[in-house]
């Protein structure tokens, strides 16, 4: 078995028993980045938030705690992660604060302008059609809304053997260019102050 290809495949789309293991692992690896995204989202009680590629759904549950009059929707194309996230957010789903869907960034199943905030951590490398996928995120956001994209740079990841298998890596400038081409304005790159993995957030506005 090609270990690098296996790891890359599970990071892209966790599946089976090992998918659950990778879901927990990704939650730990993304812990600081998720915290940083949450801080920058500046959630308000009535916000309608979309998370794309939610892993085991721990960030969704945390966001929901800030939204007594709002809602968090998560989409992921991994059956394993959808099932795990539904278990981790069972109470919030029952309360109507959370919805978990099996769906892809290629075709987000919501009308134009459905959300006022969106976020995604470490999914960019796997977007099948980056420009079109960024436009799809732009489409489902209201005017005067925000998208926060967490990622690690090409310089940080290019020496990891697993990134040779299906990853597309980006510099910070390339991320800015991608989001602006999709229609976002005022794209700001900020570095997480506490993450040992040196992750970044692109904070993009739709005006």
Domain range list for the chain:
3-206
pLDDT for the residue numbered 36: 92
What fold, for 3-206?
Rossmann fold (3.40.50)
pLDDT for the residue numbered 75: 98
| Helix ranges restricted to H, 30-64 | 31-41, 58-64
DSSP the chain: --HHHHHHHHHHS--HHHHHHHHHHHHHHTHHHHHHHHHHH---TT-EEEEES-TTSHHHHHHHTT-TTSEEEEEES-HHHHHHHHHHTHHHHHTTSEEEEE--TTS--S-TT-EEEEEEES-GGG-SSHHHHHHHHHHTEEEEEEEEEEE--HHHHTT-GGGGTT-----HHHHHHHHHHTT-EEEEEEE-SS-TT--EEEEEEE-
Query: Over its length of 207 residues, how does the chain's per-residue pLDDT go in tens digits?
Result: 555 565 445 555 555 555 455 555 566 667 888 999 999 999 999 999 999 999 889 999 999 999 999 999 999 989 988 999 999 999 999 999 999 999 999 999 999 999 999 999 999 999 999 999 999 999 999 999 999 999 999 988 887 777 777 789 999 999 999 999 999 999 999 998 865 567 899 999 999
User: How much is the pTM?
Assistant: 0.88
């Amino acid at each position: 078995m090609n270990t690098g290809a296996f790891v890359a495949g599970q990071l892209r789309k966790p599946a089976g028993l090992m998918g659950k293991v990778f879901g927990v692992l990704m939650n730990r690896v993304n812990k600081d980045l998720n915290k940083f995204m949450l801080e920058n989202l500046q959630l308000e009680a009535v916000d309608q938030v979309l998370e794309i590629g939610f892993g085991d759904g721990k960030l969704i549950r945390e966001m929901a705690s800030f939204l007594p009059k709002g809602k968090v929707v998560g989409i992921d194309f991994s059956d394993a992660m959808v099932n795990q996230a539904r278990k981790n957010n069972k109470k919030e789903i029952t309360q109507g604060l959370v919805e978990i869907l099996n769906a892809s960034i290629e075709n987000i199943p919501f009308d134009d302008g459905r959300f006022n905030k969106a976020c995604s951590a470490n999914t960019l490398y796997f977007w099948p059609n980056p420009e079109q996928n960024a436009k799809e995120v732009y489409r489902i956001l209201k005017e005067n809304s925000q998208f926060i994209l967490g990622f690690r740079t090409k310089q940080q990841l290019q020496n990891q053997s697993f990134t040779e298998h299906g990853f597309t890596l980006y510099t910070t400038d390339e991320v800015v260019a991608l989001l602006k081409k999709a229609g976002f304005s005022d794209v700001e790159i900020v570095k997480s102050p506490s993450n040992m993995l040196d992750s970044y957030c692109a904070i993009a506005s739709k005006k």
